[in-house]
Structure 1
Amino acid sequence: MLLSRLVSVVMVTDMCREETLKSILSEYYRYNYSKIYKPNSIDGREFGFNFFGGSFKRHIGFKVFEEYVNYIQRMVPKDVYYSIATYLEPTRPMNEKGWVNAELPFDLDAEQLLKTSDELIKSGWISQSVYEQIKQRFLYLLEDFIEADFGLDEKDYMLVFSGGRGYHIRVLVEPYINLDQKLRRQIVEYVSIGYKPSEPIKANVFQPFPHDYGWSRKLFEYIRVMGQSQLEELGLSSDLTAKRVISAFRKAKNPSSVRLNRSEFTSMQKLLDFVLGSYTVAVDERVTVDINRLLRAPGTVHGGSGLVCKAITKNDLEGFDPFRHASMENVSRKRVHVKRVPFEVVINDESVSPELNGKEVELNSALAYYVVVRGGGDFVDEAV
């Protein structure tokens, strides 16, 4: 149809889509390079880069921080990673690098942490309420394990929002950075599996907790305040043995002073299993155990979301909102055909919601990136 002014609206091809996404990241790095985090011992780190188009390069090294920043600005990678390890020769093949030590990382991911098969979460759509659940579990891991059990404080670790589906804790100090894979796996088991008391074989009276710290303390404190609602949830509301176990916990001054009869073991085990289901944390074992792991670089953009992988303090954590505090501060705008947005997303004081599905809108480039890269829309090219 001929008009005095012909406006042709064409959905951008995959190649153009990638170029548009890349241009948004280029804009961010052009004006926000000062926010890229400087890792310690940078000349001993291995760097890896995922590029638009699908290629991935690793075994890259930089002598100084400025080289690293310039590389990002020049190449505009989709994702940036660097090794938790430091090496003598970081650019050499893995068996020739000369491993020195490695941070002890913990990765909390929405899908694992919430034990869900939710298709939205699996595809990267994380709502504000889900992020809040992840944050609370992350804070629990930090306070009850990293600080309480491992004796670390804020100067000993770095907290990072991954830019995607969760958070990282990176322990930076000895002796943890010197641990081998076997010891790191034991730490994962301690955090993720919890405590299992051995069943008494001969003794009529047994001691369920040998210590007054760690899991012994956590389980002791929880069980002694259990009420009727928890017993009903376990189907133990009329179980007199379970109530005797709880009474014994309440009378004891500390975990190691608890004594139970052999006949009470089964009820105690049911109580422990219930508590462990709430207390254990599903960290990603592969990340913690792998001493050569590449982890996403703070201060760079997560190419799968458009949110910034951001180092944060413990004080920041309580009020931290990824959509508000980890967004790209871009000034450009993009036209987007919204296809399927499952819930309202607010980035840089601008929102997109299910009410816009099927419509064409102009968005700030950070929000446009998020919607398109998550599969919720397409960039639109207007040719006049």
Structure 2
Amino acid sequence: MADKAINAAFDTGTAPVVDLHGVSRQFGDRPALQDITASIARGEIIGLIGRSGAGKSTLIRVLNGLDRPQAGRVVIAGQDITDLDEAALQPIRRRIGMIFQHFNLLSQRTVAENVALPLKIAGQPPALRRKRVLELLDLVGLADKADQYPAQLSGGQKQRVGIARALAPDPLLLLSDEATSALDPETTHSILDLLARVNRDLGLTILMITHEMEVVRRIAGRVLVLDAGRIVEEGPVARVLASPQSDTTKSLVSGLSPSLPADLVALLAPTGDQAILRIDLTGRAARLPVLQRISRLTGQEARLLHGGVGDVQGEPYARLFIALGTADATIIAQVTADLSPIATAIEVLGYVPDHV
């Protein structure tokens, strides 16, 4: 009866799937999580990104009740799990699916038996288990592999089995722990496409834990950046890619956003003939004719030195490095004021000679 009551609350409630309030966890004198406050709405795909040791694994354990915070509250779909005992945690934990970097399949069980395992543990009758397993294997594109063993599968197929197993108990929240790190790029893309389809078709909330910003760019709508146990930045993925604020984020996205070439960086000086501007834009603004806009405003020829336009699931973002054609402070201020309403960030990087 307790399971049914919890499932009903999970499935019909409007509370965020995850609500963290000031969560902290320390091991000895080493802080693993420091005052984490974050919320994940139903149906969101969130990227949680950070380097090794940032606290990602500890946060996963806190979310599924395997570890307890020393301060703060952990609320899952409106249920405060912070101080629940093991018996009370079990029905909640069953609604949290988990997929792993190294698949964690049982080698002596068939694909179908691996997928059925959480249903068997929950006491579901064999006929219902079989029906659910076949549905899930069809969903992940492995309907013809039900009677094979993990050793007969490729890495991508093993991860699809892991996803089917995680979906078996109809979770409300899916935690993906570096699920694509062991896969080649093509297989990674196919797994991310599958997770996006699962999110879209089932309305499943997904938290992607990764150290790869490319994974976040392809699938997530919002990103949380973790460093030394703290959230140092969060926001829509397109905005964070276009204009990262923290040093950690800048490092993590460095391969995905254009940077000024080294030969131009070497020419930058505190004074010079023309200013070099970095302009970050997202959404519709990323595709506006910025150079023409600046030229009309100032009467100066603005030139694009470097940059590019990217895309996050249909949301464009751009980073442009522009030679303004003048070093006049009044004109620079005029350009900055004009572009500020549409840009996420504008920065004068320095000045270069006329011939650049």
Q: TM range, normalised to the smaller chain?
A: under 0.3
Please say which structure displays the higher CA radius of gyration.
1
Q: Which has a greater percent of strand?
A: 2
**TM-score with structure 2 setting the length:** 0.25
